[in-house]
Amino acid sequence: MDKQIPVTYKGKQKTIVPFGTTLKSLSEQFKDDLKYDILIAKVDNDLAELKNVVTRRCNVQFFDRTTTLGRCVYVSSACFILVVAARKVLGNNARVIIHHSLDNGAYCHIEGCELSEETLKQIEEEMWKIVKEDKQFGKISVSRTDAIRYFKSREIYDKVDVLKYVSNTYVSLYQLDGIYDYYYSKLAYSTGQINDFKLTYIGGVEKTGFVLSIPSLEDPSHTTEYKEHEKISDAFIDLEYASMAWGVNHVSDLNKIVSNADATDLIINSEAYYDTQLHRAADEIVKRPQVRLVLLAGPSSSGKTTTSKKLMAYLKSRGRRVVQISVDNYFVNKVDTPKTPDGEYDFESLYAVDLKLFNEHLSKLMAGEEVEMPYYNFVTGEREYKKDFIKLEENDIMIVEGIHALNDELTSAIDSKYKYHIYISPLIPLNIDNHNYIHTTDIRKLRRIVRDSKTRGRGALSTLNMWSSIRKGEAKNIYPYQDRADIVINSSLIYEVGVLKTYVEPLLFCVNEDDEVYSEALRLINFLRNFVAIPSDDVPIDSVLREFIGGSCFED
């Protein structure tokens, strides 16, 4: 008689399955609980692919593309299908390069061919053919040295280089239609589960590539048409060209520089690139004498505080007097704060701000009148006044930094000709290798974990638990207004993950195996394993990175 194994689903529902039952087979019992195809499982809170089998009593959870874990699996699986389809259409010499995140997808191009819209359509059709065939992704475990030999024999040197810095004795290679590839994340059970995507050709100078789009976390029901965010795209490309000039195309290039104790020049170059953007913004503001109000917004952990402080200094160096106004001080009293559908106070709502008073004060300041600034007491939840009066001279500039800064409703009383809009985000163009790109949100997440630990006494568990609500707030309050920016500041520093690794790894290891976000912590730990650690000694005290790791000259 076959051995029967008790399994608990989500800590509640119990079932009995034969020893050796695959998670794929088990998932069929619970597929109606999820809206989309089940992509990945957690077994006793450890991430497991659906081809894995049940061998012991355990607790199981399943995830589809509506979750962070499921979406990471979806992205990597879609990328592998793209790689295989491109080779089938164009031959083995065609090499897909997946560059960076872009509008719910990734910007890509193909080496070894001249891409056209017709060719891209053929590749997309081949991808759909692979999906309809519903082929299983194969997986084998091989020694790291054997994997290196394999990729070297096929002249796939981006894989050779990245595996050189992987510390694991054994690595997993995935297989589809005879093509083997390395992914640091896990893949779906089969190609049929990756059933929603689009390829969009991008023409024009320096943009002869395409975008692989997939459903977003915010709207997982379908893949939306790619929307060109020209300034965002240019910010990615500009830093990518700069990093190529510094000799950094992949993480392995960064690791080689660090291993050779040559990181100092790279740090200097990265910081200079960031500063150059702020000088450009300051020059543009000064050249527009009507500008009185500089509005700066960006998602969580983009470096808004450092950016606003440095921009103030650069404007002052150009002979302009600058004051900074905090939107937080214009919160309505806590009892008047809007609430979420769950009944919680929604401090991220635009209407948590006293818009009438804020605009009244802006108008008075613009007219040269004196205003007594309010202060919001976060302990009592009420507004206070401390006889702090400010008055602006004719050519003075106000800087307003906050999540709603690009939403014109925040400053509705001020004519647009007096405004200059800045959008900031760490738009990292660095790849682990040609098929594993780094998600911008992961950089911000690592920054936030470190800062929350240093300044708010929160562990990684707390930050990871909040991240979903943070993302929802950004999707509602920030991203819809990003195209209003006069300039996009890319606050990404090519070297920063190596520095963050030293600070964030111990915090991630503190997330316990029975915590809900353990798998996400483990995913980030595995991501960090691709990087050689960089000491923070050479990070300048005015660096945007200091905003998160500490030691900034802008700290109060």
Task: Using 50 as the pLDDT threshold, list the residues of the chain that sit under it.
Answer: 1, 205
310/439 same-domain check: yes
Q: Which of 26, 46, 64 is the last residue of a domain?
A: 64
> Sheet holding 4-9: strands in order across?
13-18, 4-9, 58-63, 40-43, 46-48
DSSP, res 135: P
The four Cα atoms 146, 152, 154, 156 give a dihedral, to 10 degrees, of: 110
388/533 same-domain check: no
Burial 141-176 (b: 16+ CB within 10 A, else e): eeeeeebbebbeeeebebbbbbbebbeeeebbbbbb
Bridge partners (DSSP) listed for residue 425: 490
CATH, residue 58: 3.10.20.30
Collapsed DSSP state (helix, strand, coil) of residue 275: helix
Contact 224, 104 (CB under 8 A): yes
* Structural domain includes residue 482: yes
52/26 same-domain check: yes
502/512 same-domain check: yes
Contact 113, 208 (CB under 8 A): no
DSSP, res 322: E
421/473 same-domain check: yes
441/469 same-domain check: yes
* Structural domain includes residue 111: no
DSSP, res 114: -
* Sign of the alpha-carbon dihedral angle for 545, 505, 475, 348: negative
Question: β-strands 40-43, 382-390: how paired?
Answer: unpaired
Rounded CA separation 52/41 (Å): 9
The H-or-E segment that residue 24 falls in is helix 23-27
The four Cα atoms 245, 247, 250, 252 give a dihedral, to 10 degrees, of: -170
432/475 same-domain check: yes
418/342 same-domain check: no
* Structural domain includes residue 316: yes
379/399 same-domain check: no
CATH, residue 460: 3.40.50
* Sign of the alpha-carbon dihedral angle for 201, 203, 209, 213: negative
* Structural domain includes residue 39: yes
371/397 same-domain check: no
The H-or-E segment that residue 497 falls in is helix 496-509
pLDDT, position 235:
93
Rounded CA separation 556/94 (Å): 53
Question: β-strands 419-425, 293-297: how paired?
Answer: parallel
pLDDT, position 205:
45
* Structural domain includes residue 117: no
Rounded CA separation 282/104 (Å): 31
Contact 302, 444 (CB under 8 A): yes
* Structural domain includes residue 370: yes
Which tokens hold the place of 330? 């214009």
Number of domains in the chain: 3
- Report phi then psi at 418, rounded to 5: -95, 0
* Structural domain includes residue 357: yes
525/457 same-domain check: yes
Rounded CA separation 279/274 (Å): 9
The H-or-E segment that residue 448 falls in is helix 440-456
With 0-12 / 13-18 / 19 or more C-beta atoms within 10 angstroms meaning exposed / middle / buried, residue 293 is buried
**Angle of helix 263-287 versus helix 251-259 axis, rounded to 10:** 120
Start-to-end CA distance of the chain, whole Å, equals 70
What's the CA angle centered on 68, arms 76 and 162, to 5 degrees?
40
Which tokens hold the place of 471? 């993302």
Question: Could you tell me the residue range of the domain that residue 335 belongs to?
Answer: 328-392
Q: Which of 373, 392, 411 is the last residue of a domain?
A: 392
pLDDT, position 1:
46
* Structural domain includes residue 206: no
Q: Which of 36, 64, 92 is the last residue of a domain?
A: 64
Contact 286, 317 (CB under 8 A): no
Please report where in the chains the tokens 């998602």 appear, as a residue: 299
371/437 same-domain check: no
CA-to-CA separations, 190 to 25, 73, 343, 499, in angstroms, rounded: 13, 11, 41, 37
Helix segments in 46-153, DSSP class H = 68-90, 117-132, 144-153
The four Cα atoms 343, 345, 348, 352 give a dihedral, to 10 degrees, of: 120
